[in-house]
Amino acid sequence: MIDEDMPVRSQGGARLTAALALALAASTGFAHAQRRPPAPPNFDAFYELGPDSLIRRGVPKGTVKGPVTLPSRVYPGVAHDYWVYVPA
C-alpha cells in the first residue's frame, strides 16, 4: 500500500535498504556454505625415517606374515588381527 503523504524518495530508500539487506543476508549465507572443513593434520610431515630404515643393496629383505587372528581370553567374543615381520 502506498502512502500518498510519504515522499517518493523515502519509498525508494526503503526499497533500496530492503534490497541491500536481502543481498547482504544472501551473500553471507552463501559464503558460509562454501567454507571448506579444516584439513586433517599430516603427521608424516613431523616424522622422518632414519638411515637404518632405508633400503640398502646387499641386505636381504624380510617378509610380513599375517593377518593372524587371535581370540581374546580376557574378553570373550573379541578377536584381534596381528601382522608379524619376519627378518630374512
pLDDT, tens digit, for every residue of 34-71?
Answer: 778 888 888 878 888 888 888 889 988 999 999 999 99
Q: Which three cell numbers stand for residue 3?
A: 502512502
Residue 20, helix vs strand vs coil: helix
Cα–Cα distance for residue pair 9/4, rounded to 1 Å? 12
How many residues belong to the chain? Answer: 88
pTM given for the model: 0.35
Q: Which residue has the cell 541491500?
A: 20
Grid cell at residue 10: 523515502
**C-alpha cell, 25:** 543476508
Spatial separation of the C-alpha atoms in residues 49 and 45, rounded to whole Å = 11
pLDDT in tens, 15-37: 878 777 777 766 666 556 677 88
